[in-house]
Amino acid sequence: MNPINVLWAIDHVCYDGNLHGGGRLYWNLLQEFDRERFRLVPCMLRANATIRQVFEQSAVPVRVLDKAKFDPTALWSFLQLIRRERIQVMHLHCYASSTFGRLAGLIAGIPTIIHDYDTEVYFPYPSYLSVADRLLAPSTQGAIAASPMVKQFLIQRRKIDPAKIRMLFHGIPMEKFEPVAPEAIQAVRRSLAISDDTKVVGTFTKLGPQRGTEVLIQAAREVLETLPDVVFAIVYKTTRFHRLPSKKYVEVSQEKIDNEIAELQTLARSLNIAENIRFIEWPEDIDTWITACDLVIAPFLSERFSSVYLLEAMAKGKPIVATNLGEQREIIQDGQNGYLIEPGDKSDLASKILQCLSAPPLLAQLGQQAQTSARRYSVEQYVQTLEDWYAKLAAIAVRQKLRL
């Protein structure tokens, strides 16, 4: 039996010089499909030199179409790929690919799935795209939303039938479930200058508005009044863009980044807990830093932020205390694999941290359940879901053609 040919198209995979959420998923899933049953034909509309070099190492060759944003010739490129590669299903990531790809699918009679990772934060939603979405929505066979917020965006703005939408979060690579060497963990603890008995509470975040880092620092003071031998590791990424509640983004200067760190450090000093707070710029060995933590906190004040590092922390067996928002509400089962708190509630956050750190058996139980829960979001499970969906759509398309 011949494999099903699936065209994977994405606009681009990089922001800030790094793979964005869609780019990471693209990379993680690409080489995991059953090659006897599926033949993936991946492409990007555009890519810089660095990304081209990175994807040269992919086990599945990725082609770059060299199309500018909303270049109408992308339609012809898609039609050529459909014909040349005998495409049977199209999986279309992001705006331009999902627009020109669906139009090509409609012309060629190929079923299409669109995949969104964000809403209007990074890209405006222009009127012409609204018109295209209204026209193409009826012929769209399926859609994937990367978060509850994105699901609402697909329904309200892109006019996709809710029954066609599946919500799929980050796919955790299987190596994230592997244990980290004890000596590597000890090296992290030595870098923090802490004793073997010191508990470490970590947060893994970007700097910027609504991240809730200041709430965590305020909660830390309450925790330290009861358990003074705790260190809070704020592991942060810098970013060139901040997401704002107004659905806009703003560029960020290095001066602004430096000021944000200084403000958080000043807050810690004003609460007399500076010696218990560590600010760590994002390390290369992030898995080791996650593993070195006893508990991971996600104090976000907005539903906009990704669950990527929460899920990867759960894969390492780390319980999560998170605000009751967005993806976190879907991932965390309160009292089973972690705890949910209301956004901005520093006292409840402190209480949940104390509850976990004061009861080692509870902490261990929550961690075990967190790792079990995380397996539902593994790359393996994600790929299985897509393979079943592709096979179903391809079979339906064949039956429809036979009836014509």
CA-CA distance, 91 to 143, in Å (whole number)?
Answer: 9
**Residue 23 reports pLDDT greater than 80:** no
Confidence label for 20 from pLDDT (cuts 50, 70 and 90): low
Distance CA 130, CA 158 (A): 7
Pair 364, 287 in one domain: yes
- pLDDT band at residue 49 under the 50/70/90 scheme: confident
Quick one: 103 and 183 in the same domain? Answer: no
- Answer yes or no: is pLDDT of 364 > 80: yes
Element (H, E) at 180: none
Q: Which residues contact 318 (CB under 8 A, 6 or more apart)?
A: 290, 291, 293, 294, 295, 296, 367, 370
Name every residue whose Cβ is closer than 8 Å to that of residue 206 and which is 6 or more positions away in sequence. 236, 237, 238, 239
DSSP state of 274: G
Quickly state the pLDDT bin for 306 (edges 50, 70, 90): confident
- Residue 47 belongs to a domain with what CATH number? 3.40.50.2000
**For the chain, what is the domain count?**
2
Same domain, 315 and 268: yes
Q: Which of 52-66, 101-115, 203-217, 248-262 has the lowest mean pLDDT?
A: 248-262
> Given pLDDT bands bounded at 50, 70 and 90, which one contains residue 336?
very high
User: What local confidence, expressed as pLDDT, does residue 253 receive?
Assistant: 63
pLDDT recorded at residue 208: 78
212 and 69 within one domain: no
pLDDT, residue 270, reads 97
One domain for residues 194 and 273: yes
Q: Are residues 365 and 385 in the same domain?
A: no
- Whether residue 114 sits in one domain with residue 70: yes
Query: Are residues 40 and 188 both part of a single domain?
Result: no
Query: Do 266 and 340 have their domain in common?
Result: yes
- Give the range of the structural domain holding residue 164, as residue numbers without chain letter: 4-171+378-403
Q: What is the pLDDT of residue 298?
A: 95
Co-location of 367 and 387 in the same domain? no
Over 90: is that where the pLDDT of 19 sits? no
Asked whether the predicted pLDDT for residue 349 surpasses 50, the reply is yes
Q: Which residue has the higher pLDDT, 338 or 326?
A: 338
- In this predicted model, what pLDDT tens digit does every residue of 255-286 receive, in sequence order? 676 788 899 999 999 999 999 999 999 999 99
Residues ≥6 apart with Cβ < 8 Å to 327? 147, 148, 169, 303, 306, 307, 310
Indicate if 351 and 388 belong to the same structural domain.
no
Q: Residue 222 corresponds to which tokens in the numbers above?
A: 């309450």
Arithmetic mean of pLDDT, 312-325: 96
pLDDT of residue 245: 47
Q: Do 110 and 200 fall into the same domain?
A: no
Residue-level pLDDT at 251: 59
